[in-house]
């Protein structure tokens, strides 16, 4: 089977220009040309294009894609594995961000519960219970939401204040460690990381070392969290993340 640029473009959902470009840089040259100079793609070309598009959608530069596809040591199974790994990695990152946002949302709801007199300012005449209902409808079926909600929903104002106090006490000690120049991979810093994890386990959800390192990476990646920590003292995010990683490694 032979196809023209237009047909290939339509099938693969790319523009003709893109195919021209791939030809120019030698990433995907059609297997032949007609007498008039028209590009002719065959099934093998199409298959290569599929792979190109896959890696491209995950943000790989074209040069790197060429290297991957032209690697003679990689069989089809290896490609599948690599693609699977890439996807699960991406999903993991996104899920961490989701968890962070869900926590942020939860915090907002808690805040509102604690200061009911503010509810009118924020919501006007809308009942916050209604708002909670809407939230449940929208993402009530994600697990993180359920877990964090079930525990946190029952926290009283006193619980909340105790948590805050515990966090602040811990925060003071890690800031001290950082400003004192204690290395992030020292036993002291790692102990602080472990305390951080225990705080999460105790108050929110069962946080494994693996999840904890994921959380650390998220602190680094998510602006809302870096803002939080950097506002306390510059470099704290990185310090904490390093300590968490070191702690997780030492326990593995």
Partner DNA sequence: TTCCGGCCTGCCGCGACGTGAGGGTCAAGC
Partner DNA sequence: GCTTGACCCTCACGTCGCGGCAGGCCGGAA
Binder of residue 224, out of DNA, its own copies, none (CB less than 5 to 8 A by kind): its own copies
Site for its own copies in 131-160 (CB under 8 A): 138-139, 142
Cα 119 from Cα 222, distance rounded (Å):
28
3-class secondary structure, 252:
coil
- First-to-last alpha carbon distance for the chain, in angstroms, is 54
Residue 119 in contact with its own copies, rule: CB under 8 A: no
- Cβ proximity to its own copies: between 7 and 15 the closer is 7
Nearest to 9 by CA among 38, 41, 35, 37: 41
Residue 53 in contact with its own copies, rule: CB under 8 A: yes
Cα 129 from Cα 122, distance rounded (Å):
13
Largest Cα–Cα separation, the chain: 83
3-class secondary structure, 215:
helix
Residue 40: CB atoms within 10 A of its CB come to 15
3-class secondary structure, 37:
coil
**39 beta partners:** 33
Residue 105 in contact with its own copies, rule: CB under 8 A: yes
Binds DNA (CB under 7 A): choice among 2, 12, 46, 62:
62
Cα 78 from Cα 86, distance rounded (Å):
12
Residue 162 in contact with its own copies, rule: CB under 8 A: no
Binds its own copies (CB under 8 A): choice among 26, 37, 181, 223:
223
Binds its own copies (CB under 8 A): choice among 23, 69, 95, 151:
95
Binds its own copies (CB under 8 A): choice among 17, 20, 33, 108:
108
Kindly give the interhelix angle for 223-232 and 209-221, rounded to the nearest 10 degrees: 80
How many residues contact its own copies, by CB under 8 A? 54
Residues that bind DNA (CB under 7 A): 4-7, 15-18, 20-21, 25, 34-39, 56, 61-63
Residues that bind its own copies (CB under 8 A): 1, 3, 7, 10-13, 43, 46-47, 49-54, 57, 75-77, 80-81, 83-85, 87-88, 90-91, 94-95, 97-98, 101-102, 104-105, 108, 122, 138-139, 142, 220-224, 226-227, 230-231, 234-235, 237
């Amino acid at each position: 089977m032979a196809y023209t640029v237009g047909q290939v473009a339509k099938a693969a959902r790319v523009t003709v220009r893109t195919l021209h470009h791939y030809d120019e840089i030698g990433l995907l040259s059609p297997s032949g040309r007609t007498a008039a100079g028209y590009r002719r793609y065959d099934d093998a070309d199409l298959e290569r294009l599929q792979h190109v598009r896959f890696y491209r959608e995950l943000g790989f530069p074209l040069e790197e894609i060429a290297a991957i596809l032209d690697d003679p040591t990689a069989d089809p199974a290896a490609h599948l594995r690599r693609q699977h790994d890439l996807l699960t990695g991406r999903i993991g990152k996104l899920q961490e961000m989701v968890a962070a946002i869900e926590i942020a949302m939860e915090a907002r709801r808690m805040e509102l519960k604690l200061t009911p007199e503010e509810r009118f300012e924020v919501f006007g005449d809308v009942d916050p219970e209604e708002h909670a209902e809407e939230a449940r409808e929208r993402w009530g079926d994600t697990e993180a939401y359920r877990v964090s909600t079930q525990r946190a929903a029952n926290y009283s104002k006193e619980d909340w204040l105790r948590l805050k106090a515990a966090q602040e006490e811990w925060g003071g000690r890690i800031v001290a460690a950082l400003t004192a120049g204690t290395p992030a991979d020292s036993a002291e810093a790692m102990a602080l990381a472990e305390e951080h994890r225990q705080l999460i386990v105790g108050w929110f959800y069962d946080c494994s070392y693996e999840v904890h390192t994921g959380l650390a990476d998220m602190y680094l990646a998510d602006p809302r969290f870096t803002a939080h920590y950097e506002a306390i003292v510059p470099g704290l995010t990185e310090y904490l993340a390093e300590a968490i990683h070191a702690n997780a490694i030492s326990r593995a």
